[in-house]
Chains A and B, each alone.
Chain A
Amino acid sequence: MVASRYTPAEEQKTIWVYLEQENGVLENVSLEILTKGRELADKMEWQLTGLLLGHDMGDISSSAFAYGADVIVFADHPLLENFTIEAYSDVIEKAILERKPSVFLLGATPNGRDLAGRLAVRFRTGLNADCTELRMEKKTGVLVCEVSGFGGGILALIEMPSHRPQMATVRPGVFEPKPRNHNLTGELVELNVNLNPDSIYTRVIERMVGEQVDLARVPVIVAGGRGIDGEFESLRKLAKLLGGAIGATRPPVDDGYIPREYQIGQTGVVCSPEVALCCGISGAFHFIVGIEKSKTVISINIDPDAPIFEFSDYCIVSDVNEMIPRLINALEDIQETTHEKVT
Chain B
Amino acid sequence: MKKLHSVVCVKVVPKPEEIRVDPDTNLLIRDGVSSEINPPDMNAMEMALKLKDKYGGVISILSMGPPSFENALRVALAMGADHVYMLSDRKFAGADTLATTYTLAEGIRKIGNVELIFCGEESSDGATGQVPSGLAEWLGIRQLTLLTEIDIDINKRLGRGRREAKGGFEILEVPLPAVVSVKTASNEPRFMDYRIKDWSFMPERLTFWSAGDLQVDENYIGLSGSPTIVIGLAEAPTRTRKQRYLVGSPDEIVQQLLDVLHIP
A–B contact (CB under 8 angstroms): yes
Interface set of A (CB-CB < 8 Å, partner B) = 1-2, 4, 22, 85, 108-111, 113-118, 120-122, 124-130, 144, 147-163, 176, 201-214, 216, 242, 270, 275, 294-298, 309-318, 322-323, 326-327, 330-331, 334
Tell whether, in the assembled complex, residue A22 and residue B233 are in contact, meaning their CB atoms are under 8 Å apart.
no
Asked if B231 is at the interface (CB within 8 A of a chain A CB), the reply is yes
Given contacts A120-B134, A150-B19, A202-B173, contact A129 B165 (CB under 8 A): no
The DSSP consensus for interface residues of chain B is mixed
A270 partner residues in chain B, CB cutoff 8 A: 185
Q: Does residue B112 face the partner (Cβ distance < 8 Å to A)? A: no
Are B229 and A130 neighbours in the complex by a CB distance under 8 Å?
A: no
User: If the complex has contacts A110-B146, A155-B234, A327-B254, are A4 and B227 also in contact, measured as CB distance less than 8 A?
Assistant: yes
B250 touches A118 (CB 8 A): no
Residues of chain A contacted by B19 (CB below 8 angstroms): 150, 153-154
- CA of A318 to CA of B225, assembled, Å: 55
Other-chain contact of A110, B101, B134, B145, B224 (Cβ < 8 Å)? B145
A157 to chain B, nearest CB (A): 4
Add 14 more A-B contacts to A162-B227, A214-B164, A314-B246 (CB < 8 A).
A2-B226, A117-B137, A120-B98, A124-B227, A144-B231, A149-B125, A158-B228, A203-B173, A211-B167, A212-B167, A314-B244, A314-B245, A326-B254, A330-B258
B residues less than 8 Å from A316 (CB atoms): 245-246, 253, 257
B129: CB under 8 A from chain A? Answer: yes
- Choose from B98, B129, B220, B251 the contact partner of A326 (Cβ within 8 Å): B251
List B contacts of A111 (CB < 8 A).
165
Please give, as numbers and ranges, the residues of chain B lying within 8 Å of A22 by CB-CB distance.
166
The answer to whether A2 and B225 touch across the interface, beta carbons within 8 angstroms, is yes
Question: Is residue B83 contacting chain A, with contact meaning CB distance below 8 A?
Answer: no
Complex Cα–Cα for A196 and B140 (A): 17
Contact check, B231 vs A159: say whether CB atoms are below 8 A apart: yes
State the Cβ distance, A213 to closest chain B Cβ, in Å.
6
Say yes or no: is B239 at the interface (Cβ < 8 Å to chain A): yes
Nearest chain B residue, comparing its CB with the CB of A214: B164
Contact yes or no, B227 A311, CB < 8 A: no
* Chain A residue contacts of B241, Cβ below 8 A: 297, 310-313
Can you list, as one digit per residue, whether each of B238-256 has a CB less than 8 Å from chain A (1) or not (0)?
A: 1101111110001101110
- Rounded to whole angstroms, the CA-CA distance of A85 and B14 in the bound complex is 32
Q: Mark B102-135, 1 if CB is under 8 A from A, else 0.
A: 1000000000000000000000111111111110
Q: Does B260 contact A (CB under 8 A)?
A: yes
Interface of chain A: mostly helix, strand, loop or mixed = mixed
Judge if B142 is at the interface, Cβ distance under 8 Å.
yes
B228-A160 in contact (CB<8A): yes
Is A130 in contact with B128, judged by CB distance below 8 angstroms?
yes
Interface centre among B19, B102, B163, B228 (most CB of A within 10 A): B228
Among residues of B, the one whose C-beta sits closest to the C-beta of A331 is: B263
Residues of B within 8 A of A311 (CB): 241
Instruction: Give Cα A1 to B133, complex, Å.
Output: 22
The reply on B4 being an interface residue by CB < 8 A is no
B109 CB, nearest partner CB in chain A, Å: 15
Contacts of B1 in A (CB 8 A): none
In the complex, what residue of chain A is closest to B160 when comparing beta carbons?
Answer: A205
Q: Is the CB of A129 within 8 A of B233?
A: no
Q: Are B142 and A202 in contact (CB under 8 A)?
A: yes
Find A152's partner among B97, B129, B137, B236 (CB 8 Å cutoff): B236
User: How distant is the Cα of A19 from the Cα of B220 in the complex, in angstroms?
Assistant: 31
Q: Residue on B with the closest CB to A27? A: B166
- From B129, B131, B145, B241, name the one whose CB has the most chain A CB atoms within 10 angstroms: B241
Bound Cα distance from A334 to B146, whole angstroms: 37
Do B130 and A117 touch across chains, with their CB atoms under 8 A apart?
yes
Query: How far is it, in angstroms, between the C-alpha of A156 and the C-alpha of B233 when the chains are bound?
Result: 5
The distance in angstroms between the C-alpha atoms of A211 and B226, with both chains bound, is 39
Q: Which residues of A contact B234 (CB under 8 A)?
A: 154-155
Which residues of chain A have C-beta atoms less than 8 A from B233's C-beta? 154-157
Specify which of B219, B242, B254 is in contact with A323 (CB 8 Å cutoff): B254
Contact indicator B185/A216 (Cβ below 8 Å): yes
Question: Residue B213 at the A interface, CB < 8 A?
Answer: no
In contact, B129 and A121 (Cβ under 8 angstroms) = no
Contacts of A4 in B (CB 8 A): 227
| Chain B residue at minimum C-beta to C-beta distance from A22 | B166
CB-based closest 4 A-B pairs: A117-B133, A126-B227, A210-B168, A129-B128
Q: Are A114 and B236 in contact (CB under 8 A)?
A: no
Q: Is the CB of B130 within 8 A of A129?
A: yes
Asked if B228 contacts A128 (CB within 8 A), the reply is: yes
Neighbouring B residues of A209 by C-beta, 8 Å: 166-168
11 cross-chain CB contacts under 8 A = A2-B227, A4-B227, A176-B262, A202-B174, A204-B172, A212-B168, A313-B241, A313-B243, A315-B243, A327-B254, A327-B257
The answer to whether B220 touches A2 (Cβ under 8 A) is yes
Complex Cα spacing A330 to B98, Å: 47
Give Cα A115 to B219, complex, Å: 24
Q: Is the CB of B171 within 8 A of A296?
A: no
Query: Nearest A residue to B14 by beta-carbon distance?
Result: A150
Q: Which residues of A contact B132 (CB under 8 A)?
A: 117
- The smallest C-beta distance from B119 to any residue of chain A, in angstroms, reads 11
Name the A residues within 8 Å of B21 (CB-CB).
154
- Provide the bound-state CA to CA distance between A216 and B185, in Å: 10
Q: B232: CB under 8 A from chain A?
A: yes
Q: Which residues of B contact A275 (CB under 8 A)?
A: 261
